[in-house]
Amino acid sequence: MGKRGWEAEKIARVRGRLLAWYERCRRDLPWRRSLNPYAIWVSEIMLQQTRVAVVVERYQAFMALFPTLLSLALATEQEVLAAWSGLGYYRRARMLHKTAQFVADHDQGNLPRTAEELRLLPGIGAYTAAAVASIAYGEPVAVVDGNVERVLCRMEGWKAGSRAGGGNAVRRKIEELAARLVDPLRPGDFNQALMELGATLCVPRNPQCLVCPLAADCKTQGEHDTAPRPRMQSREVAHALSVRSGLLSGQAHREVLLEQRPASLTVMPGLWELPSLRESAVPDEALRMTVRHAIMQVNFYVRIRTVFEDDVEALTVPGGDRRWVPLQDAAGMALTGLARKVLSRAHLLVAAPLDAMTPQDEEEL
Ligand code: SF4
């Protein structure tokens, strides 16, 4: 990036206007009420691939269960996955858990104070390290997420290229500009303000330039040229919804059949899902519902059929461990996003149904 165009006066003006706007307009989010590095770390990991509204709902419950890094380190993986259920991308929960155990073993449970040291931890990348270091410890390092990238591209009139089409060079220019812009006196607030601007005003479609505090210094003032998105593929799959009823201590009692994905799988190991139907068991007339569920670049069209207990063996594909789970317990288990969505839509989740995510947000690995 050439330095021309970003003289000290303009940098000071942009910082001042952005921070003043942030003080007036920032959303009151639970993780913003704390400078605890562990709390900030958890929120940043949750926010990387899940919408803010869903994170708000899950964050407080997660922090109530694991209020400190040591409490997270001491939990079992199933407890952590269950608390993560509904947020998607379960690999993040496993890495968070493993990193907490590493810090508990090596640093008495204290996270390092600089971005450079944080990056040395397994499972913490450049973005998370900069976010924790700047917000919790006041280190003047820039945080560059998708929102910051979009704001700076628009301010400079840059085209956001794909990696193949020169995207890496644009990314380097964005990082250099972000590093110059970050306010050394209030780096945490500045970083959050730039991300907030991208999340609320400088949004991908129909940005609110008329009320943007940076409009006078923005070369685009509108939507910018972006690389075309990869095309989504479609696949069809089918699962069994099997529920049995009975009486337990005189109370009506219902259980759903769930299957645990083997630990050896690379995708969503250890999570609980609905058993898969045999191909011969998917006639249209027995259909209970069809659900669209996006994972990465694939739209899964999932057909769900009701299966009676006596027919389970004949109609489903033998898979991982199976268990009849009381409905009141299912919501607290580490369910796949798809299983949670189906049980929620069938009104079978007794507590805290989380059906608030869009299919695009429910990418799971
Ligand atoms: S003026 Fe518009 S395009 Fe430029 S930073 Fe503000 S919202 Fe984004």
Q: What is the pLDDT of residue 358?
A: 31
* Nearest of 248, 225, 360 to residue 299 by alpha carbon: 360
**pTM for the structure as a whole:** 0.76
Q: What is the pLDDT of residue 5?
A: 79
| Residue 31 token pair | 């993780």
Nearest 5°: phi and psi at 328?
-70, -15
When pLDDT is cut at 50, 70 and 90, the band that residue 2 belongs to is very low
Q: Is the CB of 65 under 6 A from ligand 1?
A: no
Q: Is the CB of 121 under 6 A from ligand 1?
A: no
Of 7, 9, 23, 44, the catalytic one is: 44
Q: Is the CB of 18 under 6 A from ligand 1?
A: no
Largest CA distance in the chain: 78
> Which residue's CA lies nearest to atom 1 of ligand 1?
215
CA 221 to centroid of ligand 1, rounded, Å? 5
Answer yes or no: 44 catalytic: yes
Q: Is the CB of 154 under 6 A from ligand 1?
A: yes
The amino acid that residue 35 corresponds to is L
Please return the burial class of 281, using the count of CB atoms within 10 Å of its CB with bins 0-12, 13-18 and 19+. middle
Q: What integer is the mean pLDDT of 326-352?
A: 86
CA atoms within 13 A on the CB side of 12: 3
Domains and CATH numbers, the chain: 8-217 (1.10.340.30), 233-361 (3.90.79.10)
pLDDT tens for each residue of 168-198:
888 899 999 999 999 999 999 999 999 999 9
CA distances from 66 to 46, 199, 242, 270, 333 (A): 14, 28, 33, 20, 16
Q: What is the pLDDT of residue 283?
A: 67
Ligand 1 atom nearest to 209, measured from its CA? 2
CA 30 to centroid of ligand 1, rounded, Å? 27
Would you give the distance in Å from CA 340 to the centre of its chain?
A: 16
Higher pLDDT, 265 or 42: 42
* Nearest of 329, 294, 310, 333 to residue 240 by alpha carbon: 310
CA 206 to centroid of ligand 1, rounded, Å? 10
| Residue 358 token pair | 């869009």
CA 209 to centroid of ligand 1, rounded, Å? 5
Q: Is the CB of 200 under 6 A from ligand 1?
A: no
pLDDT tens for each residue of 317-333:
988 899 999 998 898 89
pLDDT tens for each residue of 250-288:
777 899 999 999 988 888 889 999 999 998 877 666 788
* Nearest of 201, 205, 143, 210 to residue 177 by alpha carbon: 143
Q: Is the pLDDT score of 353 beyond 90?
A: no
| CA angle 297–301–305, rounded 5-degree value | 150
